[in-house]
A and B are shown apart, each in its own frame.
Chain A
Amino acid sequence: MQAQRLDSTFAALADPTRRAILARLASGDASVMELAAPFSISQPAISKHLEVLERAGLISRGRDGQRRPCRIEAKPLQEADAWIERYRRIWEGNFERLDALLEEMKAKEKKRGHDSKRNTRKR
């Protein structure tokens, strides 16, 4: 189910090491050993992260003997992205309107400042 998969996608993405692993895999397949190299954590710890990513469908493991290279899977990421994109679109519009309103508020405040200065001078 899509909703369920989205849960596991976001849970998997919530961890910085797993995000780094995905970033690495985005530039090409890699074995557990290759993936563990840039991190200061053990290979079994990396394997645990890979299990989470595999369960979330974010990566698949090859059958290439001992090496079992990891490959990034795009679909769950695209689904998560669609959700984020939706919020982005809604709020981009809101924020652009807010920009315009803030400019107006600043101009009004400036004018009020000038007016009160003028009033003080008169007195």
Chain B
Amino acid sequence: MTTDTFEVSTPSDREIAMTRVFNAPRRLVFDAWTKPELLRRWLGVREGWTMVLCEIDLRVGGSYRYVWRGPKEEKLGLGGKYREISAPDRLVSTEAFEDAWYSGEAIDTLVLTEKDGRTTATLTMLLESKDARDMALKSGMETGVAQSYDVLDTVLASITPRAS
């Protein structure tokens, strides 16, 4: 099963790294990550959530912005700027959610390596503040959280694969 190739690790106290193998050449994986018409088909879209806005200006210093809409008309925006672009093997960008309740910014580094037509993707998120990580934890573990936290939970629940 493909999910067997999925690994999550924490290289440091502010980093989380995810490694996954895809059965496709890396230029396709890079395209799927950087072309709006492709990205909006897989990133964060699950059970009633759609990406209603996906703007990508793929240049160093260029911005991207994603907005999702949920089944109860909830909206969630995420955006950032590209810092390094080396197609089809490396992409570095900043990332921050737009809502006020979330103050954490992260730097995402995507590295793609190809072997025998298969691509290993490693996505490392370096959290600039610890807020982002703590928020992710709190929203999962505390009850009676503010409504804005519920939005995050709804998102997370909605994109969780069904237990089989």
Contact = CB atoms under 8 A, between A and B. Distances in A.
Interface in A91-106: 91-103, 105-106
Interface stretch (A2-10, A20-28, A30-38, A57-65): A2-10
B161 A96 contact: yes
B85 interface: no
19 contacts: A2-B137, A3-B130, A6-B134, A10-B13, A82-B137, A83-B133, A83-B140, A86-B156, A88-B18, A93-B159, A94-B42, A94-B159, A95-B22, A97-B46, A99-B22, A101-B42, A105-B31, A106-B24, A106-B28
A101 B161 contact: no
A94 B137 contact: no
Size category, B interface = 35 or more
A79 interface: yes
Contacts of A88: 6, 8, 18
B160 A90 contact: yes
A90 B140 CA distance: 13
Interface string B120-148: 00010000001001101110110000000
Contact of B2 (A14, A82, A99): A99
Contact of B160 (A89, A102, A106): A89
B104 to A, nearest CB: 12
Given A13-B10, A101-B42, A3 B138 contact: yes
Contact of A93 (B14, B31, B161): B161
B53 interface: no
Contacts of B24: 102-103, 105-106
B20 interface: yes
B60 interface: no
A89 B155 CA distance: 11
A3 B138 CA distance: 8
B133 A6 contact: yes
Contacts of A106: 24, 28
